[in-house]
Amino acid sequence: MTDSAKPNPAKPKLSLVNRLLYGNVDRDAKGRARVGLAILAFACIYTIICGRLVYLASTSDAQGGRRGGGDIIATARPDIQDRNGEVLATDVRMPSLFGEPRRIIDVDEAVELLTATVPDLNANELRERLSSKRGFVWLKREITKEQQRQIHRLGIPGIGFRSENKRVYPNGPAVSHVIGHVNIDNQGIAGIEKWLDARGLADLHSLGFASDRQQEPVQLAVDLRVQHALRSELIAARTKYKAKAAAGLITDVNTGEIVSMVSVPDYDPNDPREALDKDRINRLTTGVFEMGSTFKALTVAMALDSGKITLGSSFDARHSLRYGKFSINDFHAQRRILTVPEIFTYSSNIGTARMALSLGVEHHKAFLKRMGQLDRLRTEIPESAEPLVPKRWGELNTVTIAFGHGLSVAPLQAVMGISALMNGGKLIPPTFLKRTEAEANELAKQVVRPETSDRMRYLMRLNAEKGSARKADVEGYYVGGKTGTAEKVVGGRYSKTKLLTSFTAVLPADKPRYLILIMLDEPQPLPETHGYATSGWNAVPVAGLVIGRVAPLLGIAPRFDLPPADRLILAATASTR
């Protein structure tokens, strides 16, 4: 049998679609078929989407699903804890009252019964909501269990309850400026709460993936015990010195952790409406201030780190420093040539200004830039202020900024810079979260030499032994520190009566672990302060009280019979070089 005689194998039958797309048909017909199929596929997809939207519009309201505006469901958030596991913020389940207007039989009767049971319901607003065409409306969020029972007994058709998450803060205002608060829908709108949402929690909520079981607690660096101690001392100080406000910070200089942060007056995050009061702002991150003589620590460190100026260098402070129409004077005028340690302990404006001028404007600007004082400081807390830096920076700016006027920074920013002067010269970004020293070292930038840091610790301790910080020298804790008194700018002019006083303490000065900032806004002179309202008479003694209370909580044991700074710090420094 020849091949031609063999029967042809049966060709598989092609479907109509396959024949049009792949069969041996006209190419134009094939193209039209493909376009038609694409149109059909898209039409099917859009039909499904439209059907789903119609379904959601008609059913999700009745089921209490998510809606825009104020009718979304408050979702779960993770607990926030302090460094020892104490709960700072948590969720509790609360009933909320809702209505389904399409099922309401008699709106007037429903309004009358509900307002009789829950008197703070607004009758007009309630009637308007229940008369709408919507499938679901909130009537009152977070009602009591007793109110829920009473309304349930009324048996009103179309009125129901949903169990929602309510954020509660068991410590009230104690940590308010750190943890922030949430709105009625449990969405973070300030502080760590807002940071949590920005870190993806809001997205998880919107997708419905955030549940109680999936969220691990967030642990902060804050120590609640220390926070309570600092806050109570600041409240007492604000009352005693009749200050407009008081604020304090305690940071670990080796990790950048913020162990405590208080700014009073504060607010109760359980009633966040108080946060709208402008006097209750967090002065440590949101406010910017001229920090006064606290800034002299940076200027002296700049001079020592340059290698051109040593502790043995001296500057002429016999006369006022005239610069144009301005005259720079010293509050504790000595009218003589001062060494660098004397400039620091007498807090000489003249000596500090001459020191900065000897290095030049560009050197000064570059150093402060390196110390993080000219750029906005970013932390986990979203509320932060941009420093106020002169647009045109000449020699007069360097003169005034050298002793803490003419440049406004957030106090936390100044603390970051001075911490670097104490910890061996490493600038570590501050954090409100727990962080190890190894993690901090990965982020650290070496901004001054370790030798400069040694000398600055010596000067800080010397100031507590002989200078303006003597009232903070708590026996056994080897405190060092620098005072700061700045005249506030009122109406474009420096006020002689409105002062911002501060004191920055290092603890212990020979082996720094913590930096403590105490700040009083417009403290008033008292008879016992002999009419003075400068830092040495208010912020410094307050720091002494704080150190006496928090040092044991921070695990710092008292030591006695410690030698003076020149023998303990300088001698040890010289022996290791």
Question: pLDDT (tens digit, 9 = 90+) per residue, 320-360?
Answer: 888 877 888 888 888 899 999 999 999 999 999 999 999 99
pLDDT at 7: 45
Is residue 75 in a domain? Answer: no
Same domain flag for 481 and 340: yes
Same domain flag for 152 and 300: no
Is residue 200 in a domain? Answer: no
Same domain flag for 236 and 139: no
Same domain flag for 433 and 287: yes
Average pLDDT of span 443-463: 96
Query: Which residue carries 């109509």 as its tokens?
Result: 16
Beta strands at 218-219 and 80-81: parallel, antiparallel or unpaired: parallel
97 vs 163: CA distance, rounded Å:
9
Is residue 73 in a domain? Answer: no
Same domain flag for 444 and 570: yes
Is residue 324 in a domain? Answer: yes
pLDDT at 493: 86
Domain tally for the chain? 2
186: confidence class by pLDDT, cuts 50, 70, 90: confident
Is residue 192 in a domain? Answer: no
Catalytic: 293? Answer: yes
95's enclosing H/E stretch is strand 87-99
Candidates 262, 173, 272; CA nearest to 222 is 262
Same domain flag for 521 and 444: yes
Same domain flag for 151 and 235: no
Distances (CA, A) of 145 to 109, 117, 118, 163, 516: 23, 12, 12, 11, 46
Tens digit of each residue's pLDDT (9 = 90 or more) over 267-314: 999 988 888 888 899 999 999 999 999 999 999 999 999 999 999 999
Same domain flag for 519 and 414: yes
Tens digit of each residue's pLDDT (9 = 90 or more) over 91-115: 988 888 999 998 888 888 889 989 9
Same domain flag for 232 and 155: no
Q: What is the mean pLDDT of the chain?
A: 87
Is residue 469 in a domain? Answer: yes
Catalytic residue chosen out of the listed positions 96, 293, 347, 408:
293
Domain that holds residue 97: 92-123+135-166
Which positions ≥6 away from 418 have C-beta within 8 Å? 294, 297, 298, 482, 504, 515
Residue 380 tokens, joined? 């986990």
pLDDT at 206: 59
**Cα dihedral 298, 300, 305, 306 sign:** positive
Tens digit of each residue's pLDDT (9 = 90 or more) over 487-533: 998 888 888 889 999 999 999 999 999 999 999 999 999 999 998 99
pLDDT at 290: 94
Q: Which amino acid makes up residue 366?
A: A
103 vs 64: CA distance, rounded Å:
14
Tell me the CATH number at 417.
Answer: 3.40.710.10
pLDDT for residue 458 is more than 90: yes
Helices (H), 292-445: 296-306, 340-345, 349-359, 361-370, 395-402, 411-422, 437-443
Contact of 402 with 299, CB cutoff 8 Å: yes
Same domain flag for 233 and 161: no
pLDDT at 118: 87
pLDDT at 15: 61
Tens digit of each residue's pLDDT (9 = 90 or more) over 232-253: 999 999 999 999 999 999 999 9
- Beta strands in 385-478, from DSSP E residues, in sequence order: 426-427, 445-446
Measured at the CA of 485, the angle between CA 484 and CA 486, to 5 degrees, comes to 120
Is residue 354 in a domain? Answer: yes
Tens digit of each residue's pLDDT (9 = 90 or more) over 369-400: 999 999 999 999 998 999 999 999 999 999 99
